[in-house]
Amino acid sequence: MFKFDSLIIGSGLAGLSLALKLADRQKVAVITKKALLDGASSWAQGGIAAVLSPEDSWDEHIRDTDVAGAGLCDPATTRYVVEHGKASIDWLIQQGVPFSRDNDNNYHLTREGGHSHRRIIHAADTTGLAVQQSIAAKVRSHPNITLLEHHISIDLITGNKLGHQDNRCYGAYALNIPSGEIITISAHNTILATGGAGKVYLYTTNPDTATGDGIAMGWRAGCRVANMEFIQFHPTCLYHPHAKSFLISEAVRGEGGILKLADGTRFMPRHDERAELAPRDVVARAIDFEMKTHGLDCVYLDISHQSKAFLQQHFPNIYARCLELGIDITQQPIPVVPAAHYTCGGLMADLRGRTDVDHLYAIGETAHTGLHGANRLASNSLLECLVFAEAAAIDILSQESAVFTTLPRWDESQVTDADEAVVISHNWAELRRFMWDYVGIVRTTKRLQRAQHRIKLLHEEINEYYNHFHISADLLELRNLVLSADLIVQSAMSRHESRGLHFSKDYPEALPLAKPSILAPPNYLVRPARL
């Protein structure tokens, strides 16, 4: 049995930031399914939103966040995150993150959809990678941090699973993917920072690691989830057979990019007075409408009116990747389609990152803090990771020391080797296809019911497989994806209105009062002192 003061599951910006903030006073373990940088944070292009200019203000950032969130953002959370934005950026600068500068050697701020000011600090168009590389280098060299790469968490170990009369997390079981060994980890505090569930959809900008692991594990442990129906579809994913869902940053529209049909007709002003700078949900629905109306495979994003020097300076990664695929963005428009991008809901967490289960935290995209409401404002995601990593660190380090609990080993005595692994790949493909068809940008009650019926059948088949055969990483991810899909559909069916990212043809109007959709698992224990 391994023993750590804190166990962090996930190696994105939230998890690695927290690891660094704890490691000077604690023994910390970080579990990640692949290598340290193989997560969604490294893929982030645009930047980090924060009030860094004297022309900007907290109130305006808060207002922009709430407008994008369609009135569903939690006021206290939004103010807390915005007011801690500059301190988070200062911390990153101290870690050596090479943010882009302008001609006067000041940090360059760009603007994205939904923002009233230039407030996005960035490192060219590969901000996430630049941030993650700077932090990962320090994580790797820290003597108090143990990295468990190529390990996938199986499930959390809680008091009710151990037969205790408490509601506490004691650690987790994890699978060493290369060796097949299952290890037991005892921890005073466990932090879920596994990202979102974008891989539940056929088309997504997310990496292959985004399989809803933390959300599913937290739900099984007794945590509530909120707002899982709000899946953000990024409006502009590169449409190309060899692109592997390559994202075209929001900042391209922020710097003047125009959305057009194949014949060159601009269409966004017909849908919203903010045109290309409208929030993502508006732009994604507009593109979806134009594609379906005209029978198109894609639309086009044109930034060719900017100079080659400008594009190479501001979007070097996008310029190079498109050129590799035969698209010269200085001369021709970029073919784009919407794709699942961000999970706005998740495990309910308070302003310290605490969930419904004692000593279990959720931060980053795994968590529902109330910041994003019904639609996340561009570049608020990395900001949330940083602010809540700091908040959780403060709470964890304020605790008194505790004695480690001896935990039972994983029991494999009743299982055998799988007979047909092809079942996993077939179920995975079926799930992602019907989620795209039935639970996409535009929904109906009938479509949701069809998805729910198929999810029930997949649940039964996968649980039987899980209970009878040796586990694998693919099986664990599929199990978590199906549960995440179920929570998305349940939440969508409970919302009888259209708001933000959830648009229903059966309920096209928004209700007068915005309320979160909250689901509680069967083993949820009501505790009035928390969330």
Q: In what order do the strands lie in the sheet with 109-110?
A: 48-49, 120-121, 109-110
Distance CA 317, CA 310 (A): 13
Closest CA to 154 of 367, 402, 407: 407
Active site residue 280: yes
Q: How distant, in Å, are the alpha carbons of 50, 99, 205, 365, 373 from that of 83? A: 9, 21, 29, 20, 18
Among 119, 224, 253, 280, the active-site one is 280
- Identity (one letter) of the amino acid at 521? P
- Across 234-255, b (16+ Cβ under 10 Å) vs e yields bbbbbbbeebebbbbbbbbbbb
| Beta carbons of 345 and 368 less than 8 angstroms apart | yes
User: Euclidean distance between the first and final Cα of the chain, in Å?
Assistant: 32
Cα torsion angle, 352, 356, 357, 363, sign: negative
Report which DSSP code applies to 223.
Answer: -
- In what helix (H) or strand (E) does residue 139 lie, and over which residues does it extend? helix 127-141
For the chain, how many helices (H) and strands (E)? 17, 20
Distance CA 452, CA 67 (A): 31
Burial environment of residue 270 by CB neighbours within 10 A (0 to 12, 13 to 18, 19 or more): exposed
Structure tokens at 457: 């059948």
Closest CA to 360 of 494, 160, 144: 160
Structure tokens at 420: 């047909």
Question: Per 3-state DSSP, what percentage of the chain is helix, strand, and coil (rounded to 5)?
Answer: 40, 20, 40
User: Which residue is it, tokens 């980090």?
Assistant: 48
Q: Which residues are catalytic?
A: 280
